[in-house]
Structure 1
Amino acid sequence: MFEKLTKKLNIFLKILHIKVFNKKNIKNTLYKVRCALIKSDVALTVIDSFLRLNKKKSLGSAINKDLTPGQTLIKIIFNELVNIMGKKNEKFNLLNKNLTIGMIIGLQGTGKTTSIAKLSYYLNKKTKKILVTSIDIYRPAAITQLEVLIKKTGAHFFPSDSFNKPINIVKLAIKYAIKNSYDLLLIDTPGTLHTDQLKIKELQKISKYINPTETLLVVDSMTGQDAINSIKKFNKYFILSGLILTKLDSDTRGGIALSIKQLTKKSIKYIGTGEKIHDLQKFYPERIAKRILGMDDILSIIEKIKIQINDKDSKKLKETIKKKENFNLNDFLIQIKQIQKIEGITSLLNHFPLNKLIKKSSLYNIDKKSLIKIEAMINSMTKKEKENPNIIKGSRKKRISLGSGITRQEINIYLKQFENIKKIMNQITKKRPNKIFQHIKNYFIK
């Protein structure tokens, strides 16, 4: 999702290393961003507004002493990306006591029928009883298609046919939903061109009758800037509560997601990311901004890295390695604690040119639960055992197991992992490549 946009904006990894914050490099950087956004199908008015705000905030921004100029600039750009997409996720509005009615509209071919099934599946986890019906009498196959899809969702389907009028189907469905204590009724409508006045008036009449809590417009992301025109037209005829953006798994440039909120004042509530029934996600502007930047975890680490890495412990470990002293379990515990403080360690390490030996080591592949167990294991050892792991045999393992709550088999595995790390640390001492934590710290902190 957003792969093309991400590739075009991968200049941000280079921006991280900007050492001087001045008008020239800000101008050059924002020019590259502008080119990337244009190629990604973002509306020109949105691009101009976006860059104008970034330039203003960049030039007027005081450099955070804990961040490099490059990091400061990225943080500003990231915040503006989030702002133009709407700042926060807009939830589906479910009424507490009364029946909630949702009306799904859109152009034909946008994935509307599939989207309502996906939405049913998604909301079924949060809502007790969901009823779905179709008033698309103009395309009988649509009714059958929806019925088949709804069977996979856990929701219920209210039957309809092409011989009945849409308004009558709606009335019957509402009556049935109330009688059987449904919490939510979702109505699939015919695919409608915004120029088809007969269908538009029919849907307006139905909308006025049911007064839906949610009116969601389904938009095909592959249509690019044409999607903006259709949103504006539908917004003229209906009171839209939000949008579902489909086909974001396809060869789309993704820029439309950056344009919608600012140009239409409507929020994207959900995004379709595949053809399967579970391929619907909430639209989170912050997550999308991180994906666009290609920096899923790095932005959060920029915020936290200064307090996460303990200078005292890092210095101690560095001195131990430098002096070629025996790398013991005390040193290993320092590493474990450092890794525990950094979320997404694997994703993080992928951004650094680390020694291949480190990437192949068991430390690189230890999961979060194992880190907690390893710490518990080491804390259950005596001072002598921590400094000389070789003495940990049968009776000692039994005592450590009882003290830490982990099995003797796990203790054997973790001690073996320690031995692997010890070998790696010895090679780091000899070959002098970048140290893991020192390299991470230097990369992010001025």
Structure 2
Amino acid sequence: MSEPERRPDFETRQIHAGSTVDSDVHARITPIYQTAGYLFESFDDGEDLFAGRSTRRAYSRNDNPTNAIAARRLADLEGGVDGVVVASGQAAIAAALFGLAQAGDHILVTQSLYEGTREMFRGSLKRQGLDVEYVADAATDEEWASHFRPTTRAVYTETLPNPLNQVSDIERLARLAHDGGVPLVVDNTVPTPFLERPIEHGADIVIHSTSKWLAGHGAVIGGAIVDGGTFDWAANADRFPQLTESSREGVPSYVERFGNAAYGAYLRAVILLEYGPTVPPTSTFLLLAGIETLSLRMERHVTNAQQVAEWLEGRPEVGRVLYPGLTSSDYHELAQKYLPLGAGSVVTIDLAGGRPAARRFIDALRLVSPMTHIGDVRTLAIHLGSTIHGKLTEPERLDAGITPGLIRLSIGLESARDIIADLERALDAAATSETT
């Protein structure tokens, strides 16, 4: 009896997974299919496409061959059954939740989240009727259970929350979500599937801002949603009728047609088609090129980040270094469990001199780029209180852990020695009195 075929390693799949060879041109890499739509084969073919009886693509608003290959590759790398790509990470969050909830429904969210996500939750999504409720990081299982309602539709978290680098206990959150009858949605942007795969720890839906490490070069904006194929929609049919009930007579439900891939199919056929958060195939082409070198880049990112974080811990100008790869981190043990290959490449520091020191630090940088982005091959820096969290009041910032001297570093692929030299120059400036 022959041995079962071994699944290729991550490094191989990041290059080949989901790819197809064009039957006419035989191009080896995925072409850019720059087209708005696709010919019907016949009158009946057009009718079947619009009736949902055919899975062939009809329009690029919700499906495009270039985009489909990128979505399949990300689904493969995350260990999911299906995926879609969209115009941005924010679009991915909105589309993922719109696929689960409607006005009046309730989403439970962990307290530690990227501020741009929190802003969307308290802004646009609230205006559209979604009730987002935060649960404290230190909440017990019993406290979590008390927050679930009949209208709850998901638990939402980030694997490695930006910018404070708390490590989420995905297994625990998945258990809590499933006990409450809802899926766990996880933003896995910062670790990427090379460092952590939430579906392996019980998550059901994974989202990404593909603009960051996946694309890797600061050149494109994009997002992605991966359906893990793990949540039992039929067992929770009363919460998710959009997946378990027929939308019109003669058309089976998404669960009946697509089984464990029902959610991904619903996103593509309904959410992407109706909301239209389409990412251009030119951007996806660059995303695919980035994914091909993901493992190599992430290895260098985390090596540099660990070295920089350890060096920063020894600097008197730095009050705290927030990086779970450090043994001093409160999240080091969880990082060892969930991030054995490295704790990402965001290193956040709290300057002892507060906002004045942060100003001098940012203005003294030469190699490091002061800008709002993460996941670039270049090292980036941003003062959080005056930019991303600038719309909050001072008490709100402090409540979110954003102190006056907090600076987020996204460590790039330059020589670690050169990164440290630039940071040293900036720290020396930060320690200098403004009057000298």
Q: Which has the higher contact order (CA 8 A, sep 6+)?
A: 1
| TM-score between both structures, scaled by the size of structure 1 | 0.28
| TM-score between both structures, scaled by the size of structure 2 | 0.29
Q: For the pair shown, which has the larger CA radius of gyration, 1 or 2?
A: 1
Q: Kindly indicate which of the two structures has a greater share of residues assigned to strand.
A: 2
